[in-house]
């Protein structure tokens, strides 16, 4: 009995040793690929994972001169303050509204644009359109918002000049809270729609051309080919990107909203990103702003897990 047990242990050790040697053999074989991955891994380690240690101050009354080790521990006090704050539901609603605009209005546009570009047969025209829609992505939000300001301002703005020419009353787009959300999503579409088509166009190029040939032989027009071949072929890519998008439910980006934010539209424009900036950097409430950021991260993680689980339930590929 002892002999058989010893032999089983020896076999297990030998098997582990073989697996380790096989792993190292693969690493040595693909060492150049791992070297290419290394900068990305270091980036995430240094700028994404190591700073997580600082989340501990969300449970403290952090004082910079005392440091993390010397600051007083207050538990969930900052989270209680956040959830009982009169501004919490306003900020939460504003963030969800802008996120909804991004998911239901912006997210489908790169897909539609990539499908349309894929149907263009004139290569010069196709490349020209691609270049034109890509360019805004390389401009900062400062430039995008500045261009919008020049076009929409009451003082010589081209849009209001056209309205006055047509005999209509000028509109104060920049200070009217009713125009904040349309202005926000139009700017997002203008800047990011073209860049978002890159992934979808790359996925479309991987579709087997023989499927289109078979569909044409069966009498399918170009719209039918797009609907029954192209879209199903890139469905997994769409779902993965949608899951990642849902994970950013409370992460809309600070710079864009902050540039549009003013005292007149704050009730519809204040989101968690701008709230963290004001509370943390302008007011010096480091622990409280960290608690708000911690809450954002937890919600994003939960949404990613839920969206991935939902995709699996419908027999689709998720992100893990």
Q: What is the pLDDT of residues 207-256, one digit of tens each?
A: 888 888 888 888 888 888 888 888 988 888 898 888 888 877 777 878 89
Q: What is the dihedral of CA 185, 289, 52, 40, to 10 degrees?
A: 30
In this predicted structure, the answer to whether residue 284 has a pLDDT above a threshold of 60 is: yes
Q: What is the DSSP string of the chain?
A: -HHHHHHHHHHHHHHHHHHHHHHHHHHHHTHHHHHHHHHHHHHHIIIIIGGGGGGGGGGEE--TTTHHHHSEE-TTHHHHHHHH-TTHHHHHHHHHHHHHHIIIIITHHHHHHHHHHHT---HHHHHHHHHHHHGGGGS-HHHHHHHHHHHH-TTT-HHHHHHHHTTPPP--TTT-GGGHHHHHHHHHHHHHHHHHHHHHHHHHHTS-HHHHHHHHHTT--HHHHIIIIIHHHTHHHHHHHHHHHHHTTT---HHHHHHH--TTTHHHH--HHHHHHIIIIIS--HHHHHHHHHHHHHHHHHHHHHHHHHHHHTT-----
- 123-180 pLDDT, tens per residue? 888 888 888 888 999 999 999 999 999 999 888 889 988 988 888 888 888 888 899 9
pLDDT at 320: 67
**What's the number of CA atoms in the CB half-sphere (13 Å) around residue 75?**
3
Spatial separation of the C-alpha atoms in residues 123 and 130, rounded to whole Å: 10
Q: How far is CA 65 from CA 61, 261, 279, in A?
A: 12, 33, 19
- Nearest to 82, CA basis, from 280, 276, 302, 292: 292
Percent of residues, the chain, with pLDDT higher than 90: 25
Q: Which two structure tokens, joined as six digits, stand for 120?
A: 């263009």
User: Is the residue at 18 inside a domain?
Assistant: no
User: Is the residue at 77 inside a domain?
Assistant: no
User: Is the residue at 154 inside a domain?
Assistant: yes
Q: What is the dihedral of CA 123, 128, 133, 138, to 10 degrees?
A: 120
User: Is the residue at 248 inside a domain?
Assistant: yes
Of the ranges 183-187, 201-205, 290-294, 312-316, which one carries the lowest mean pLDDT score? Answer: 312-316
pLDDT at 182: 93
Q: Please name the residues in contact with 243: beta carbons below 8 A apart, sequence gap of 6 or more.
A: 304, 307, 308, 311, 318, 319
In this predicted structure, the answer to whether residue 12 has a pLDDT above a threshold of 80 is: no
pLDDT at 6: 53
Strand-pair partners of 72: 61
Number of domains in the chain: 1
User: Is the residue at 21 inside a domain?
Assistant: no
- Nearest to 91, CA basis, from 270, 296, 253, 256: 270
In this predicted structure, the answer to whether residue 4 has a pLDDT above a threshold of 60 is: no
Give the burial class of 318: count Cβ atoms within 10 A of its Cβ; 0-12 exposed, 13-18 middle, 19 or more buried.
middle
Residue 292, number of CB atoms within 10 A of its CB: 24
User: Is the residue at 71 inside a domain?
Assistant: no
- 292-316 pLDDT, tens per residue? 989 988 888 888 888 888 877 777 7
Residue 295 structural domain: 86-313
pLDDT average, residue stretch 18-24: 80
pLDDT at 5: 58
Spatial separation of the C-alpha atoms in residues 120 and 108, rounded to whole Å: 19
- 61-113 pLDDT, tens per residue? 888 888 888 888 998 999 999 898 888 999 999 999 999 999 999 999 999 99
pLDDT at 66: 85
CB 294 within 8 A of CB 280: no
Q: Which two structure tokens, joined as six digits, stand for 9?
A: 């242990």
Q: Please name the residues in contact with 303: beta carbons below 8 A apart, sequence gap of 6 or more.
A: 246, 247, 249
User: Is the residue at 187 inside a domain?
Assistant: yes
User: Is the residue at 48 inside a domain?
Assistant: no
CATH number at residue 224: 1.10.3720.10
In this predicted structure, the answer to whether residue 7 has a pLDDT above a threshold of 70 is: no
């Amino acid at each position: 009995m002892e002999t058989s047990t010893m032999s089983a242990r020896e076999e297990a050790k030998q098997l582990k040793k073989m697996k380790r040697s096989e792993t190292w053999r693969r690493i040595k074989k693909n060492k150049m690929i791992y070297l290419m991955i290394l900068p990305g891994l270091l980036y995430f380690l240094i700028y994404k994972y190591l700073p997580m240690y600082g989340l501990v101050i969300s449970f403290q009354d952090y004082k910079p001169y005392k440091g993390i080790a010397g600051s007083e521990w207050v538990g969930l006090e900052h989270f209680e303050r956040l959830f009982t704050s009169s501004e919490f539901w306003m900020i939460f609603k504003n963030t969800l509204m802008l996120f909804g605009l991004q998911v239901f209005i912006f997210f489908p546009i790169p897909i539609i644009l990539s499908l349309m570009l894929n149907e263009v047969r004139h290569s010069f025209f196709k490349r020209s359109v691609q270049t034109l829609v890509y360019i805004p992505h390389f401009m900062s939000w400062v430039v995008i918002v500045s261009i919008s300001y020049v076009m929409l301002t009451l003082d010589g703005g081209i849009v209001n000049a056209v309205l006055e020419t047509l005999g209509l009353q000028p509109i104060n787009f920049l200070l009217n809270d009713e125009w904040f959300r349309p202005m926000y999503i139009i700017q997002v579409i203008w800047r990011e729609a073209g860049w978002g088509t890159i992934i979808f166009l790359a996925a479309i190029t991987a579709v087997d051309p023989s499927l289109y040939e078979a569909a044409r032989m069966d009498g399918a027009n170009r719209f039918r080919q797009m609907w029954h071949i192209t879209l199903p072929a890139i469905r997994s890519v769409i779902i993965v990107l949608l899951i990642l998008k849902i994970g950013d439910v409370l992460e809309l980006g600070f710079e864009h909203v902050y540039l549009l934010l003013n005292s007149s539209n704050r009730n519809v424009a204040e989101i968690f990103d701008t709230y963290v900036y004001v509370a943390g950097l302008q007011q010096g409430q480091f622990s409280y702003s960290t608690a708000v950021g911690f809450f954002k991260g937890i919600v994003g993680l939960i949404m990613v897990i839920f969206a991935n689980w939902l995709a699996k339930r419908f027999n689709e590929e998720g992100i893990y």
